[in-house]
Structure 1
Amino acid sequence: MNTPQYHEMLIPTLKVIEELGGSGTIQEIAEGVIQLLGLPEEVTSQPHNPEKSSQTEVEYRLAWARTYLKKYGLIDNSERGVWSFTDKHQRGMRLDPEEIVQTVRGLAKNAKKRVINEEPDAIPEAKDWREVIHQAILSLEPSAFERLTKRILREIGFVQVEVTGKSCDGGIDGKGIVKIQDVLSYHVVFQCKRYKGSVGPGAIRDFRGAMIGRADKGLFITTGTFTREATKEATRDGASPIDLIDGDDLVEMLKKLRLGVNVRMVEEVEVDGQWFENI
């Protein structure tokens, strides 16, 4: 099965958002579209451009679909990355994907600027700083990546963080303790891998086998992505829980923790002339 084109994902994206109650995160929408279209793992695990991003080809084309639907006026996203319907969207409305594509391209042409690239080589929602950070992580030496992992875990609340991967400890690269309110403590083992592709369910099962009887929880960190089957395996009922952090999560964590990232807030002031006239 070939990966569906972005225009083939327009209507499925709307259907999934509707099924989610009118709003959804990027991950929820992606999982819904994958299930709706019945896409197998060999399709959903294909990377788009592993040299620049951990994004899969399906995620890349879904980003295009969301961008076209947004430019068409049917959906919009909040600062927290939640996508929802606009007032223009009406339940049960008939929509033609080709009309949506041509309308959006027409808007771009009339505005005399390329709002959307007509060749599927650019990620419409990509942020340059994300790609720069991701590339910087991939270029780190193994020891530097271990230090980065330890720093991140300490920043988010881990104590007694220790890297043990050099001892070939059954797939476990390190361990630490998470303290909650200085009352509860959880022993966590982690595995951190610099992958450019996708991590499958087999790697999750192997990691779980190595952590049994040695920790309360597991944490799998990768610079790549996790397949849908790997995500399901990590949260499988009756099995030891494993939390997942992929390449995009790593980038967001570095931004949130201000590690190697400087964020400048810009204040915009608008004067209400009508207010002064009514004094």
Structure 2
Amino acid sequence: MKKDIPSYPLLIEATYDALKQLGGSGKNDEINQKAIEILKLTNNILDIMHIDTNLSEVYYRLAWARTCLKNYSAIANSARSVWSICPDYTTIDKVNGEDVYSYHRKKEMISAKEEIGGLSESDINNVDTLVPDVNLPEEVKGWKQHLYKILLEMNPYAFERLTQRLLRECGFSEVKVTKKSGDGGIDGIGKLKINGIFTFNIAFQCKRYRGNVNVSEIRDFRGSLTTDIEKALFITTGTFTQQAIEDACKSGKQQIDLMDGEEFINKLAELQLGVTEIKDYQINEEFFSKI
């Protein structure tokens, strides 16, 4: 099945096309869904997991495609994780994925040379083997992978307390864990007040998964919800199958909001829960050589 996953150049073109169709800007999930729609990818393809991350292979490559387009100066991302087409490209309808891919690979070679010294031209296709972190998309580098590993290895009750704390920091109140981890159904309840006026009863379930949460688990969770529950949230360190995503927001059924591992980690960083931002400076040597 892995051979049926679109190539990097094709995903780069689909990502750019997706942003164009979204009006020039969009968040990760919007861009991913639009690119999937453009390429008409099947659920079987979308559910293949990337071996070293908590993302599906397609989502991993789409994250990489965004990084490539950013390095190519075709798109940029804000501090709020919104991607947008750069001003110089607003009148350009399409990009050549092969050109963007080739440009990025050359930058990888330069980075590899800085890491390990001399690098022959024959090594261009093995850069990611020589310096593994070089070939990771911006969105899944270093600290995120380390944090993901920590979350998977946490004591299950500690993970429940972390989820409880995160929900409180997000504005939830009266957050309670209702039963032991791994039992299925509702793991906890809480209340959420919107704009200081409207209060909703919330039920949540949290799963520490390395892989996919499938549609049956979404349906089991929905089946456990009582009539007094107005909103439901399913949290996982892994990801959701495409069928699970579609079922969670299916019309005519109780809607279930989803938070995957990427969103969970981003929220921890945003709230600085166990994560501290370290600022640094990048030196533009060309600036100093040409001034």
Into which bin does the TM-score normalised by the smaller protein fall? 0.7 to 0.9
TM-score normalised by the chain length of structure 2 = 0.79
CA displacement at 1:182 relative to structure 2 = 5.3
SS in 2 for 1:166: coil
CA displacement at 1:225 relative to structure 2 = 0.9
Matches within 5 A, 1:117-196: 118-119=127-128, 122-125=135-138, 126-166=140-180, 171-180=185-194, 183-196=197-210
Q: Give the corresponding residue for 2:260.
A: 246
Say what the alpha-carbon RMSD is for the aligned residues: 3.0
Distance change (3 Å), C-alpha of 1:27 and 1:117 = farther
SS in 1 for 2:71: helix
1:219 aligns with 2:233: yes
Q: Give the corresponding residue for 2:83.
A: 83
Amino acid at match of 2:35: V
CA displacement at 1:95 relative to structure 2 = 4.6
Instruction: Decide which structure has the larger Cα Rg and report it.
Output: 1
Q: Counterparts of 2:34 and 2:13 in 1: how far apart (Å)?
A: 12
CA displacement at 1:118 relative to structure 2 = 4.2
CA displacement at 1:104 relative to structure 2 = 3.7
| Count of aligned pairs between the two proteins | 266
Q: Give the corresponding residue for 2:12.
A: 10
Instruction: Tell me whether 114-123 or 7-16 shows the greater mean CA deviation.
Output: 114-123
Amino acid at match of 1:123: L
Q: Give the corresponding residue for 2:60.
A: 60
Indicate conservation of the 8 Å contact 1:47/1:55, yes or no: yes
Given candidates 15, 20, 23, the residue that maps to 2:22 is: 20
Amino acid at match of 1:79: A
TM-score normalised by the chain length of structure 1 = 0.82
Q: Counterparts of 1:267 and 1:113 in 2: how far apart (Å)?
A: 17
Q: Counterparts of 2:280 and 2:98 in 1: how far apart (Å)?
A: 38
Indicate conservation of the 8 Å contact 1:116/1:124, yes or no: no
Q: Counterparts of 2:231 and 2:263 in 1: how far apart (Å)?
A: 19
Q: Give the corresponding residue for 1:29.
A: 31
Q: Give the corresponding residue for 2:41.
A: 39
Indicate conservation of the 8 Å contact 1:212/1:240, yes or no: no
Distance change (3 Å), C-alpha of 1:116 and 1:64 = farther
Amino acid at match of 2:47: S
Q: Structure 1: which 5+ residue stretches go unaligned?
A: 269-279
- Give deviations 1:14-49, integer Å, cap 9, x for gaps: 211111112222211111111111111121122213
SS in 1 for 2:89: coil
Instruction: Tell me whether 255-264 or 115-124 shows the greater mean CA deviation.
Output: 115-124
Q: Give the corresponding residue for 2:218.
A: 204
SS in 2 for 1:154: helix
Q: Structure 2: which 5+ residue stretches go unaligned?
A: 116-123, 283-291
Q: Counterparts of 1:261 and 1:167 in 2: how far apart (Å)?
A: 24
Indicate conservation of the 8 Å contact 2:202/2:230, yes or no: yes
